[in-house]
Chains A and B, each alone.
Chain A
Amino acid sequence: MAFLELQNLHRDFGTNKALDGIEIALGEGEFLSLLGPSGCGKTTALRLVAGFDRPDEGRIVVDGRDVTRVSPNKRDMGMVFQAYSLFPNMTARQNVAFGLRIRGQRRDERDKRVLELLDLVGLSHAVDRYPHQLSGGMQQRVALARALAIQPRVLLLDEPLSALDAKVRVQLREEIRRIQLELGITTLYVTHDQEEALSVSDHVAVMYRGRIEQMGSPAEMYSAPATPFVAEFIGTMNRLEGTVVDGGVEHGGKTLQIEAARQRPRGDRVLVLIRPETVEVDRANGASASPNTLIGDVVTQTFLGPVTRLKIVGTGVDVIADVPTQKALGLPVGTRVTAALPAEGVRLLDLKEDLPQIAEEPAPAGP
């Protein structure tokens, strides 16, 4: 039984279809991330759930109750905004107490709960500071405490970490997840950072141009992307266009042995998706090409910390491979190498239309 349901949500801004039939069913206590590039509609969807906007079509159901027409201050949801949402004229303590004050909770109970929450987010030492005296990360912690104070049924987060430094971001996202698990709150999280989404969520829904491209667990999304867009958006992927032939896929003059190709009719145009870390790279040492092994030269090396990304160019085929950095030291630019592509566990997608460009910014979804 789903706790939070988004049923067939549509929202247009003029001619721009910001949401085109969104369907989501989230169980109680689960954490779903809406992931996508700017303008994909994820924030629009969140704002509809919060009640700051009304859908043109569709319903929002919380715990069996239709809240589509309910005003935002009666929906019993807690929201954490991207930035600037703390009331500047109140201290951290007063900010967190706000929702409780509105509900008329007694002073002593209120104070107790406020301190509990600020302790939960690690800010006991800063309760009487004003927002302008707090760092970005601290402000977001207060915002989180404030949203949780009212014990909402649903927790909504609108890119809460985007405005923060990288290190703070990683730290804070783990804390958000920890707190969410501890309190068991159903959570809807919006972000454009795929690493963030994959690391903290129970489910991820990738959105593009107002639609959900794919929804599933982080592992599913990573290893089994369903559409070219998702494949491109999540992690880095080798995308090789080819045609299905006997026992494999023909690409760039080579026939790659791909298990999945057996189920497809000959002549189908497909996109072969291979994760860089699944490509085995070694010095060529005079070896010759074999079915799934290419011979090529290392053209660029990109240092990524524990792993180094190599771009290998062969005859008609280019691949990207991630190798442990220690190993990459022995394969400098110009080295002739073998790149072994896996035969199993490789995904094939239909190549029906042009691949969507991730870099292109679609029109913003409404005001």
Chain B
Amino acid sequence: MAREDGCLITTTDAASEALRPDTRSGRRRLSLAWLGTVPFFAYALLFLFLPAGQILIGAFKSKTGGWTGHNLNLLVHKPYITYYETSIKISLLTAIAGCILGFFIAFAAIRDGTPRWIRGIITTFSGVAANFGGIPLAFAFISTIGNIGIVTKFLHDHLGWDIYSTHFPIFGNFTLFSAFGVGIVYMYFQIPLMILVIAPAIDGLRREWREAASNLGANSWQFWRHVGMPVLLPPLLGATILLFGNAFAAYATAYSLTAGSVGVVPIQIGYLYSGNVLDDPHLAQALAFGMFVVLFVMMAIYVPLQRRSARWMR
């Protein structure tokens, strides 16, 4: 018996040795493998890190070549600070609105009772709509609720409602070509992005929780209050942050809608490049640097949040 045991051990040992990744004799092989990743990292260095570094450094330089905090100082004063404020305001509002609306639509598509095919359509369409931004989207809305848009005319001719002379609370008079209008258009890709991101989290809400809660006496509200919302809160927050970043970085849509007149930071950067000669590259870099800081802070909140929400879903 003992001898058989001994043989068994040797066999398993040998087998596991063969399967274990090479550590000692493989050291040379390992360095070759590292070498294989060089093209990729070289590419990233050349076309991502160095240009990014250029922004970092250039933001602190002046036209004459010396170090200065002047450009960054400009950023915290008008008019530039207003641009950041506008950017943040639009991004925040469309992120929150996108979160709420996107959640309700996603939930409506996924919940019990809704036919399966509806979910498929919503997901597919969201995939397309999340990509359908920028220039074409802007014009689609111009065709719809622009000055001579189809819906504008319809509302005016058939319902006697001139939306362009309507005063909305908080947002003021309606016009597509303003921060308000831009926000409405942004929803076209914010909501689908939200749907795509939150759908897996909604799926993760196990039916057993709902049923157990009901079985224990809870009604719908109580379930959402005690179980549903607490579980969904981290993914919802994470998704909102994602939407914020998405809107904050958007350029093409605002550009096309307002011919570059709405005061958000990306547009301002674009302005600096609209002439043939770039007047002050360092200002552009400072503005870009400012954007980077905002987005970095956003990411710093997002990543740990993601990790936390994943933990509960196990």
Give A residues with C-beta under 8 Å from B.
Answer: 50-52, 71-79, 81, 83-90, 98-99, 101-103, 132, 143, 146-147, 150
Q: Which one of A90, A102, A147 lies within 8 Å of B222 (CB-CB)?
A: A102
Residues of B within 8 A of A150 (CB): 216-217
Q: List 16 A-B contacts (CB under 8 A).
A: A51-B214, A73-B213, A73-B215, A75-B215, A85-B208, A87-B212, A87-B213, A87-B231, A88-B314, A89-B230, A90-B227, A98-B226, A102-B222, A132-B311, A132-B314, A146-B216
Residues of A within 8 A of B206 (CB): 84-85
Q: Are B312 and A102 in contact (CB under 8 A)?
A: no
A71 to B227, CA, bound (A): 19
Q: Are A72 and B214 in contact (CB under 8 A)?
A: yes
Q: Are A87 and B211 in contact (CB under 8 A)?
A: no
Q: Are A88 and B208 in contact (CB under 8 A)?
A: no
- With contacts A85-B209, A132-B311 known, is A78 near B215, CB below 8 A? yes
Q: Which one of A76, A77, A78, A81 lies within 8 Å of B208 (CB-CB)?
A: A81
For residue B218, CB closer than 8 A to chain A, the reply is yes
For residue B150, CB closer than 8 A to chain A, the reply is no
Q: Are A81 and B212 in contact (CB under 8 A)?
A: yes
Q: Are B219 and A73 in contact (CB under 8 A)?
A: yes
A90 to B218, CA, bound (A): 15
For residue B313, CB closer than 8 A to chain A, the reply is yes
- B219-259 vs A, CB cutoff 8 Å, 1 = contact: the mask equals 10010001100110000000000000000000000000000
Count of B interface residues, CB-CB < 8 Å:
21
- With contacts A87-B226, A87-B227, A89-B227 known, is A98 near B208, CB below 8 A? no
A52 to B213, CA, bound (A): 12
Q: Which one of A52, A86, A101 lies within 8 Å of B211 (CB-CB)?
A: A52
Which residue, B215, B219, B222, B226, has most C-beta atoms of chain A within 10 A?
B215
A76 to B215, CA, bound (A): 7
A90 to B227, CA, bound (A): 8
Q: Which one of A50, A72, A89 lies within 8 Å of B312 (CB-CB)?
A: A89
Residues of A within 8 A of B212 (CB): 79, 81, 85-87, 143, 146
Residues of A within 8 A of B311 (CB): 132
A99 to B215, CA, bound (A): 9
Residues of B within 8 A of A88 (CB): 209, 231, 312-314
Q: Are B222 and A83 in contact (CB under 8 A)?
A: no
Q: Are A102 and B218 in contact (CB under 8 A)?
A: yes
Q: Which one of B214, B227, B231, B312 lies within 8 Å of A73 (CB-CB)?
A: B214
Residues of B within 8 A of A72 (CB): 211, 214-215
A72 to B206, CA, bound (A): 17
Residues of B within 8 A of A99 (CB): 216-217
Residue in chain B with minimal CB distance to A88: B312
A72 to B222, CA, bound (A): 14
A78 to B215, CA, bound (A): 6
Q: Are B312 and A77 in contact (CB under 8 A)?
A: no
New A-B pairs, 16, CB < 8 Å, besides A81-B212, A88-B312, A89-B231: A50-B211, A50-B215, A51-B215, A52-B214, A73-B215, A74-B217, A85-B206, A85-B209, A87-B212, A89-B312, A90-B227, A98-B213, A98-B226, A99-B217, A143-B212, A150-B217
Which residue, A71, A74, A87, A90, has most C-beta atoms of chain B within 10 A?
A87
- B21-38 vs A, CB cutoff 8 Å, 1 = contact: the mask equals 000000000000000000
A154 to B9, CA, bound (A): 54
CB distance from A70 to the nearest CB of B (A): 12
Q: Are A98 and B211 in contact (CB under 8 A)?
A: no
A330 to B311, CA, bound (A): 57
Which residue, B206, B219, B311, has most C-beta atoms of chain A within 10 A?
B206
CB distance from B77 to the nearest CB of A (A): 45
CB distance from A342 to the nearest CB of B (A): 41
CB distance from A77 to the nearest CB of B (A): 7
CB distance from B14 to the nearest CB of A (A): 30
Residues of A within 8 A of B231 (CB): 87-89
Residues of B within 8 A of A101 (CB): 226
CB distance from A27 to the nearest CB of B (A): 23
Residues of B within 8 A of A83 (CB): 208
A51 to B211, CA, bound (A): 9
CB distance from A19 to the nearest CB of B (A): 19
A101 to B227, CA, bound (A): 13
Residues of B within 8 A of A103 (CB): 217
The 8 closest A-B pairs by CB, nearest first: A99-B216, A85-B208, A89-B230, A85-B212, A79-B215, A102-B217, A72-B214, A88-B312
Residues of A within 8 A of B217 (CB): 73-74, 76, 99, 102-103, 150
Residue in chain B with minimal CB distance to A83: B208
Residues of A within 8 A of B218 (CB): 73, 98, 102
Residue in chain A with minimal CB distance to B205: A88
A72 to B211, CA, bound (A): 8
Residues of B within 8 A of A71 (CB): 214
A74 to B212, CA, bound (A): 13
Kindly identify, within residues 258 to 314 of chain B, every residue whose CB is under 8 Å from any CB belonging to chain A.
311-314
A143 to B212, CA, bound (A): 9
Q: Are A81 and B226 in contact (CB under 8 A)?
A: no
Q: Are A77 and B313 in contact (CB under 8 A)?
A: no
- B118-159 vs A, CB cutoff 8 Å, 1 = contact: the mask equals 000000000000000000000000000000000000000000
CB distance from B208 to the nearest CB of A (A): 4
Residue in chain A with minimal CB distance to B227: A87
A99 to B227, CA, bound (A): 12
Residue in chain A with minimal CB distance to B233: A89
Residues of A within 8 A of B314 (CB): 88, 132
- With contacts A89-B230, A98-B226, A132-B314 known, is A84 near B215, CB below 8 A? no
CB distance from A352 to the nearest CB of B (A): 41
Residue in chain A with minimal CB distance to B215: A79
Residues of A within 8 A of B214 (CB): 51-52, 71-73
Residues of B within 8 A of A87 (CB): 209, 212-213, 226-227, 231
A81 to B216, CA, bound (A): 12
- With contacts A102-B218, A103-B217 known, is A79 near B211, CB below 8 A? yes
A86 to B211, CA, bound (A): 11
CB distance from B265 to the nearest CB of A (A): 38
A225 to B175, CA, bound (A): 80
